[in-house]
Structure 1
Amino acid sequence: MKGITAELAGFAAGVRFAGLPAEVVERVTWHVLDSVGAGIAGSAKPWNAVVRRYALRETGPGACTLYGTAGTGRPEWAALANATAAHGFEIDDYALPALAHPGCVVVPVALAVGEETAARGHAVLAAAAAGFETVVRFGLATTPSLTSDRGFHVTSVHGVFGAAAVACGLRGVDEDTTASAYGLAASQAGGVTEYTRSGGEVKRLHAGLAAMAGIRAATLAADGFTGPRTAVEGPRGLLRAFVAEPRPAALTAGLGERWELHGLALKRYCVCAGIQAPLRAISELRAAGLESADVGESAAGLGAGNVEKPVAGLDARDVEEIVVGLDAATLAHVGAVGAYPRDMTEAQFSARHAVAMHLVLGGNDPGHYELLEQAGFALPEVSALAGRVRLEHDAEAEKSFPRRLLARVRIRLRDGRELRRLAEAPGSPAAPMSGEEIEAKFLGLAEPVIGRRAARYVRDAVLALADDGPVLAVLAPAHERYSRRSA
């Protein structure tokens, strides 16, 4: 009887496009587009540029594209830079109830190894589907205990296996070699979540390290280097080392017959997933307070040049207190930083500050955070309101977590009125984005960085993968795209 590691390897080695359900192809294609948009937007941020410069300096000659430059490199190094960029501004995807971040690792690896092997769309989507499924199942088996009990970051623990699955799949290695790659990947899993307490930029790097490690594991295994064949389930394996309350059956139950991608979610705002629902509640309360009913909220306008303006009808100066109710795990994750962040990571993990920013500035998009960064993370009106935001435990949110991310928000005004709203995270499985909204989000992220014409070219090339379009069309020509800033 096969063990868990061997079963996972057999699944990844056997995935073919022809066997994918239509809904899996559609979902993975949208998440590829979303991840590419996140990576393009993230590539423009200075902390991600540090990793890109490092990758370009250290790589050997290679043809793989790095977001944000005409330079190219080997697959490991391209994936390091691109995955860091994709995870580098808190706008990448996640999964419920798995509490995993698959796209930021899986997609950069699929594109880098796809470029290396000159793969076409069907092969890339099949490998990506295997990678998404692998990461999601690791999430189902390990979270929230992985983080809540042990302090590990899901992206860097789960991601190495998803990355190895993708790299092995695109390179066509067999089941036994893939199992060995998983054994090597397990020894490269890691990453702690102390950034949720004291900031720093390392969180962005976790996706890059996982992507790089997964490709490295696949490469070494293909060259004959071996890893333990029970690296996941063994008495000294990953589950025992990383998880206080593992659910090993979730890794293989129905594997290959039942896909677990129905829990994949997209972010509307560039903050931690746990802050998405509170911001939706604030947005709805803000809209309800207007004299005009014409307050539509869409996924467009995410770029720095399209910052939403604060609206009249609910003035931050009229607010006495905002109370945000969350489940216990989310409270621990987004409540520890406090109201006054000192860097971008803290700002994107502070529920108090994000809620205040949304009410004062009108949103939590890249442009809003650029304004905050330019102000040294101290916008007086935002800071003043953030100090009047209180977080508390909410029983209904607790009951729903982690299947759903809910938040209950109460705004107490100085005139004695109180506004209330229970909201669900936008883009989550129970409140999904439409295809039009996903495209609008992509264009809003990509256009400010690479220009209107190039952004539409990339969008069309990604969507053509389902028709077996070439992966090279998604990323090339790099020099032309990244040297053009307007069209």
Structure 2
Amino acid sequence: MDDLDAWKKLARAHRGVTLELAGFVASLPARTIPAATEAVLAKAVVDAIGCGLYGLTTEWGGILHRFAAQQGGPAEAALWGGGGARVSVGHSVLASATAVHSFDFDDHSRAKIHPGAVVIPVALALGERVGADGRRLLQAIAAGYETMNRVSQAANPARARMRGWHLTGTCGTFAAAATASVLLGLNAETTASALGLAGTQSAGLWAFTSDGSMSKRIHPGKAAQDGVTAALLAQAGFTGPRHILEAEDGGFLFAMSDAPRPQRLTEGLGTLWHSDATCFKPHACCGSNHACIDAVLELLREQRLAVSDVQRVVAGIARVVQTQTGFDYEADSVLNAQMSLRYNIAVAMMDGQAYLEQFTPERIVEARVVQLARRVEIEVHEDVDRAYPEIYGGRVTLVLKDGSTVSRLVEYSRGMPENPMPHPEVERKFLSLAGAAVGQEQAAAILAQANGLFAADSVAPLNQLLATSTVAGLRPRSH
């Protein structure tokens, strides 16, 4: 049996999984979200908004913000940092979802996706338009996170990534459509149609690291916009393919991956909540690099080593991560600095952290850190590779100038569910990010509203604060 025949057999065996997933999404308003899941999603709301406010201070965040303001549309949703401006839901989420992902500091999961960047902006913008209360927002956010994780897991994220896809973009449309479907109150059949329309708009390619371009930042913005459009069209009666995920000819899973796992779409549906395994970032860079950052910082601290004691560094990682972040460091853009494992390790060694200050245009070209980055060697570590992406591990070995070596393997970096950031730590991160963007007083007011969102009667007060906030550095472009 050749690969095509095997795929067709697999597709036929799982025919109906899109409808089954849609039925789960449509039934969420009648379900009780587990307390543990709600607690994780409460952190996700805070984290996404903090990342989004800071993202508006970046060049690319500002460009999308101005673009959304210029496009306008019906005044139905807040434009974050827009001086009280209101635009269409589609343009609101295009700008805010891009902003959340604008500094690669937003939440992620082992499915190699960034769900918060897509789901939270859709929930806030469309939630205000339809007058949703906090409980309906929780249900919608849970639907989005669960859908995005399951679609990516079913595509087999490591294999799909090796085909050049950026899964936050490709799977994000499904997440946005699921979130919107709950808020719009769509039934199972119409939700399946929304997922079908979302899937046929799926996009997101990894070519941004070839030249450090801005395209990575916009992927969640477009996914959010297209997923909302899909749900609104489905509500209006425009039909989409209700077997979009499993169809053997042109279905998402068989188009995106050479080793799809359609059974992952429905395994444990309603009892296994992938949201619970959301990862929050303490380092402002690619999540696949965090284990090596933690490992090198632990080695320097515990061995009481200075950078001057180190001759060279060897990082052992998974094969996918080598492709993704193991490229030679050229100091050509902030994005490539955030993606580069060599730079991440080097700057963490020199500064004791990999936070906002380590990813400025000035810092990423500083001669001493560039020289150290070029002394970092990358190799595939077979044990780490076998475990990835279920375990985002990394092993660092320091070869010292006296000829000795010290090594550390980190399997669960800070922020992973096995080594979590508690809610107060996420709040401190929020205040650091949002405070830099809008000032500490306004950041504290937004945090209070965000923390109370799931118990609120309306999302309007939070959106009003987001819309009227003045973001540092966000200025209209002169012509």
What TM-score comes out, normalization by structure 2 length? 0.91
1:434 corresponds to which residue? 422
Equivalent pair of 1:325/1:391 in contact (CA under 8 Å) = yes
Residue among 395, 404, 411 paired with 2:391: 404
Aligned-partner Cα distance in 1 for 2:337–2:144: 30
SS at structure 1 position matched to 2:316: strand
SS at structure 2 position matched to 1:391: strand
1:161 corresponds to which residue? 174
Equivalent pair of 1:149/1:244 in contact (CA under 8 Å) = no
Q: Compared with structure 1, are the counterparts of its residues 480 and 230 closer, same or farther at alpha carbon in structure 2 (3 Å cutoff)? A: closer
SS at structure 2 position matched to 1:425: coil
Output the amino acid matched with 1:330: V
Cα drift, residue 429 of structure 1: 1.7
1:473 corresponds to which residue? 461
Unaligned regions of 5+ residues in structure 1, if any?
291-312
SS at structure 2 position matched to 1:420: strand
Q: Compared with structure 1, are the counterparts of its residues 52 and 483 closer, same or farther at alpha carbon in structure 2 (3 Å cutoff)? A: closer
1:363-418 alpha-carbon deviations (Å, 9 max, x no partner): 21112212xx135x410110110110101111231232111111111112223342
Equivalent pair of 2:41/2:142 in contact (CA under 8 Å) = yes
2:151 corresponds to which residue? 138
1:325 corresponds to which residue? 316
Tell me the percent identity: 34
Residue among 253, 274, 279 paired with 2:267: 253
* TM alignment of 1:11-410, pairs within 5 A: 11-16=24-29, 19-70=32-83, 71-96=85-110, 98-235=111-248, 236-290=250-304, 313-315=305-307, 317-336=308-327, 338-370=328-360, 373-374=361-362, 377-410=364-397
Output the amino acid matched with 1:275: N
Cα drift, residue 289 of structure 1: 4.0
Q: Compared with structure 1, are the counterparts of its residues 484 and 332 closer, same or farther at alpha carbon in structure 2 (3 Å cutoff)? A: closer
1:462 corresponds to which residue? 450
Q: Compared with structure 1, are the counterparts of its residues 483 and 241 closer, same or farther at alpha carbon in structure 2 (3 Å cutoff)? A: closer
SS at structure 2 position matched to 1:159: helix
Aligned-partner Cα distance in 2 for 1:366–1:399: 32
Equivalent pair of 1:146/1:154 in contact (CA under 8 Å) = no
Equivalent pair of 1:164/1:217 in contact (CA under 8 Å) = yes
Output the amino acid matched with 1:433: M
Aligned-partner Cα distance in 1 for 2:403–2:88: 62
Aligned-partner Cα distance in 1 for 2:210–2:291: 21
Aligned-partner Cα distance in 1 for 2:334–2:50: 19
1:294 corresponds to which residue? none
Equivalent pair of 1:17/1:126 in contact (CA under 8 Å) = no
1:302 corresponds to which residue? none
Equivalent pair of 2:78/2:467 in contact (CA under 8 Å) = no
Aligned-partner Cα distance in 2 for 1:374–1:66: 30
Equivalent pair of 2:57/2:472 in contact (CA under 8 Å) = no
1:6-44 alpha-carbon deviations (Å, 9 max, x no partner): 112111111127511111111111111111111111111
Cα drift, residue 120 of structure 1: 1.6
SS at structure 2 position matched to 1:458: helix
Q: Compared with structure 1, are the counterparts of its residues 483 and 182 closer, same or farther at alpha carbon in structure 2 (3 Å cutoff)? A: closer
Output the amino acid matched with 2:406: L
2:10 corresponds to which residue? none
Equivalent pair of 2:181/2:191 in contact (CA under 8 Å) = yes
SS at structure 2 position matched to 1:476: helix
Equivalent pair of 1:145/1:244 in contact (CA under 8 Å) = no
Aligned-partner Cα distance in 2 for 1:234–1:389: 45
Aligned-partner Cα distance in 1 for 2:342–2:137: 40
Aligned-partner Cα distance in 1 for 2:277–2:385: 18
Equivalent pair of 1:266/1:428 in contact (CA under 8 Å) = yes
1:271-305 alpha-carbon deviations (Å, 9 max, x no partner): 11111111111221222244xxxxxxxxxxxxxxx
Cα drift, residue 145 of structure 1: 4.6
SS at structure 1 position matched to 2:174: helix
Aligned-partner Cα distance in 2 for 1:54–1:482: 17
Cα drift, residue 166 of structure 1: 0.8
Output the amino acid matched with 2:131: A
Q: Compared with structure 1, are the counterparts of its residues 252 and 18 closer, same or farther at alpha carbon in structure 2 (3 Å cutoff)? A: closer
Q: When the two structures are aligned, how many residues end up with a matched partner? A: 457
Aligned-partner Cα distance in 2 for 1:409–1:441: 26
Aligned-partner Cα distance in 2 for 1:409–1:17: 48
Aligned-partner Cα distance in 2 for 1:219–1:167: 8
Output the amino acid matched with 2:330: Y
Aligned-partner Cα distance in 1 for 2:272–2:403: 52
Equivalent pair of 1:412/1:419 in contact (CA under 8 Å) = yes
Q: Compared with structure 1, are the counterparts of its residues 393 and 456 closer, same or farther at alpha carbon in structure 2 (3 Å cutoff)? A: same
Equivalent pair of 2:81/2:468 in contact (CA under 8 Å) = no
Cα drift, residue 263 of structure 1: 2.1
Cα drift, residue 61 of structure 1: 3.0
Cα drift, residue 479 of structure 1: 5.3
Output the amino acid matched with 2:385: E
Aligned-partner Cα distance in 1 for 2:260–2:221: 25
Cα drift, residue 47 of structure 1: 1.2
Cα drift, residue 455 of structure 1: 1.4
What TM-score comes out, normalization by structure 1 length? 0.90
Equivalent pair of 1:404/1:430 in contact (CA under 8 Å) = no
Aligned-partner Cα distance in 2 for 1:341–1:179: 45
Unaligned regions of 5+ residues in structure 2, if any?
1-13, 474-479
Aligned-partner Cα distance in 1 for 2:178–2:67: 26
Worse-superposed segment, 414-423 or 234-243? 414-423
